[in-house]
């Protein structure tokens, strides 16, 4: 097999998923294939990867390993604007205690603790289900 057109990379397959996972993924690909030629290519790749474990191991090792951060999650390490290597230095402003929000909003002290936020209470999703009859 030509490692330059590696099926694990071409079809974005995870070699850790094993024959079952690979088969499921390739079935999906075959269903979505535009034509019979593409389906035949997918089938050939599926056979190559599932018939013999040694071939699958070889193809997997000759593919680039998956080193990209998964989509939908934070990439490690967190991106720091500016200097990428060191966390942002603390500044004097970071050490100053912030005033209470109620004071900033001109409310009486402790108002934000006493008053239950109405929008949460009215939210139907957060409300307990009504007892069934």
Partner 1 sequence: MTLSGAGEIFDAVLFRPEDEALLQRLEDEEVFARLVRRHMASSGGRAPEPRPRAAGMIAAAAATPAGKAARDRAVAGDLEPLAALVETESPSNLSPELAHHVAVHFGRVARSVPESAFDVAVTAHERSLAAWLTLGAEARYLARLMTEIRGDEGGPSGPASGAAAGERFAVERIDEVAWIAESAAPTLGRAGAAALAALSRVPAICERLPSERLARRARARAESRRAQAIDLALEPVREAVAEATTRDLPPRERGERLVKAILVWAWAGHDALVEHFVVEQLVPIAWEVYRASQWEVLRALLAPFVPCVDSLAARIERDPIGGVAYAATCGDVLMFEAEAETTLDRQIAIAERLLRVCPTHRNGRLVLAAYLCDKATRIADQPFIGDAAAREADALVDRAEALYPASKSLEAARAAIARARAMYRPPLFWRPGS
Give contact residues for partner 1 (rule: CB under 8 A). Answer: 3-4, 6, 8-10, 12, 15-16, 18-19, 53, 56-58, 60-75, 77-79, 81, 84-85
CB of 58 to partner 1, least distance (A): 8
Residue 85 or 98: the one with the smaller Cβ distance to partner 1 is 85
CB 24, CB 13: distance < 8 Å:
no
The CA-based angle 57-59-65, given to 5 degrees, is 90
Angle in degrees, 0-180, between the axes of helices 36-50 and 18-32, rounded to the nearest 10:
180
Residue 39 or 58: the one with the smaller Cβ distance to partner 1 is 58
Q: Measure the CA–CA gap between 42 and 51, rounded to whole angstroms.
A: 14
Residue 93 or 121: the one with the smaller Cβ distance to partner 1 is 93
């Amino acid at each position: 097999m030509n490692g330059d057109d590696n099926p694990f990379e071409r079809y974005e397959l995870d070699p850790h998923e094993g024959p079952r996972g690979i088969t499921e993924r390739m079935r999906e690909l075959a269903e979505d294939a535009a034509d019979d030629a593409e389906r035949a290519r997918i089938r050939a790749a599926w056979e190559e990867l599932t018939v013999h474990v040694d071939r699958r191991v070889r193809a997997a090792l000759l593919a680039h390993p998956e080193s990209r951060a998964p989509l939908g999650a934070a990439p490690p390490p967190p991106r720091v604007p500016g200097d990428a290597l060191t966390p942002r230095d603390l500044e004097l402003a970071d050490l100053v205690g912030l005033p209470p929000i109620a004071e900033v909003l001109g409310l009486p002290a402790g108002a934000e603790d006493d008053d239950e936020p109405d929008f949460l209470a009215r939210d139907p999703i957060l409300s307990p289900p009504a007892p069934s009859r």
